[in-house]
Amino acid sequence: MKFYSLNKQSPAVDFKEATIRGLAPDKGLYFPEYIPLFTKELLESIDRVDNATIAYEVIREYAADVIPPEDLGRIAKEAIDFEIPLVQVDDNISSLELFHGPTLAFKDVGARFMSRCLGYFAKERNQKVVVLVATSGDTGGAVANGFYNVDGVEVVILYPSGKVSSVQEKQLTTLGNNIHALEVKGNFDDCQPMVKEAFADKELNERLFLTSANSINIARWLPQQFYYLLAWKQWEDKSNPPVIAVPSGNFGNICAGIMAYKSGMPVKHFIAACNANDTVPEFFRTGKYEAKKAVPTISNAMDVGDPSNFIRIQKIFSDDITDMKKMISSCSISDEETRNILKKVFEEKRYLMDTHGAVAYLALQRYLENNPGSKGIFLETAHPVKFYDVVEPIIGQQVPIPELVQQQLKKEKSAVLMNAESNLLKEYLLHS
């Protein structure tokens, strides 16, 4: 399998090279030369297939030419080596709980898969790998945990000062060792260009072995298909495929789901559920894509005004917005609406969501009200405790804190405060 740049100014590369580079030399995102189809046997017998085999079958055609089957199978198995349950909330809505991994967030799957791929590739090289990543919240903790103590890898994480939750900040700033946190004065849309400019900097790339762990990296993005297949495995009414609502910020997660659909997984419709950062909902309304400056919300991991992965979704649908609208809709949910639905579902259903899951739940509920006979899944992408400082005032009680988080909150934060200037990041990378 080859991967080409969506800017089409760089040569196609294999899975290994695309993973190591993260971003193509022409600053384009890598995309597979074709979308493989799942086997008929896998889809028809998925109820009886173990999770590790499902994950391997999803990723096999993308990566098997550079990672031997035995190693690729092990990597895929370790990426999902925790519970990923589909929990029924009411008669028509189920929650795919993606927060049972080590950092209590969906990004554990992609981060664990990618870290193990890079660890495998690093053994073949003498030069240390520098993983450079910007985060709006959960990516930082997932990447930090996934790469912690991986031989031959150093991790540098940029995050916006004061715009991630206290739990998220502790998860990415307290590990130390090969994990380094940069606290940037600005928002996520200030951090991301700094990372992109670093990858485009000739001197940096000559002196360092740079790669990315954001969802722009294919080894972070593609394995997110795993849990969509696991949701389908657990879906009881196979004759009535689900509507799937995805909390959407940088659009890597929903894009992975759409890839699974294009590979053959039955889905009735996708909903890109956004907060006040409504660049994509506006695109669906007007047909014009206009990036905006991100605004802060209580679902901060989705505070993205120019989602990088949306270009991949456009590519999947050959830039045909009419075709896209048949399969995807998008909406914007306000903070007030998020608070209200989170409180209502907790009080009436005794199910506690985080703020991102609440955005997706409400978007799904509204869609189902207008489409009788459909049932759906929303992705609960993080444990509510990661946003306890927002969730607790809404529900009027304390969110139980897992022991792992209790220990993290006691640790001392270690981060370098930095202005949102690319030259400062370059100096740090060259001389730290």
Q: Is residue 210 part of a domain?
A: no
- Return the pLDDT at 17: 93
- Confidence tier at 400 by pLDDT (50, 70, 90): confident
Average pLDDT over residues 314-333: 97
Q: Is residue 134 part of a domain?
A: no
- Confidence tier at 432 by pLDDT (50, 70, 90): confident
What mean pLDDT is reported for the chain? 93
Q: In the chain, pLDDT over 70 holds for what percent of residues?
A: 99
pLDDT over 80 (residue 125) = no
- Confidence tier at 268 by pLDDT (50, 70, 90): very high
pLDDT over 90 (residue 177) = yes
- Confidence tier at 103 by pLDDT (50, 70, 90): confident
- Three-state SS across the chain? CEEEECCCCCCCEEHHHHHHHCCCCCCCCEEECCCCCCCHHHHHCHHHCCHHHHHHHHHHHHHCCCCCHHHHHHHHHHHCCCCCCEEECCCCEEEEECCCCCCCECHHHHHHHHHHHHHHHHCCCCCCEEEEEECCCHHHHHHHHHHCCCCCEEEEEEEECCCCCHHHHHHHHCCCCCEEEEEEECCHHHHHHHHHHHHHCHHHHHHCEEEECCCCCHHHHHHHHHHHHHHHHHCCCCCCCCEEEEECCCCHHHHHHHHHHHCCCCCCEEEEEECCCCHHHHHHHHCCCCCCCCCCCCCHHHCCCCCCCHHHHHHHCCCCHHHHHHHEEEEECCHHHHHHHHHHHHHHHCCCCCHHHHHHHHHHHHHHHHCCCCCEEEEECECHHHHHHHHHHHHCCCCCCCHHHHHHHCCCCCCEEEECCHHHHHHHHHHC
pLDDT over 80 (residue 182) = yes
Q: Is residue 175 part of a domain?
A: no
Q: Is residue 376 part of a domain?
A: yes
User: Picking from 120-124, 152-156, 299-303, which range would have the lowest pLDDT averaged per residue?
Assistant: 120-124
pLDDT over 90 (residue 14) = yes
- What is the side-by-side order of every strand in the sheet holding 179-185? 209-212, 129-134, 153-160, 179-185, 416-419
pLDDT over 80 (residue 72) = yes
- Return the pLDDT at 71: 95
User: Picking from 82-86, 121-125, 157-161, 313-317, which range would have the lowest pLDDT averaged per residue?
Assistant: 121-125
The answer to whether the predicted template modeling score (pTM) of the entire model surpasses 0.95 is: no
Q: Is residue 11 part of a domain?
A: no
282, two tokens: 């506006």
Distances (CA, A) of 35 to 38, 136, 161, 264, 412: 10, 29, 38, 10, 45
Average pLDDT over residues 92-105: 94
Q: Is residue 416 part of a domain?
A: no
Residues 397, 368 contacting (CB under 8 angstroms): no
Q: Is residue 7 part of a domain?
A: no
Average pLDDT over residues 234-247: 97
Q: Is residue 260 part of a domain?
A: yes
- Return the pLDDT at 199: 87
Domain of residue 98, residue span: 83-105+221-397
**What CATH number corresponds to the domain at position 357?**
3.40.50.1100
Average pLDDT over residues 158-177: 90
Number of domain units in the chain: 1
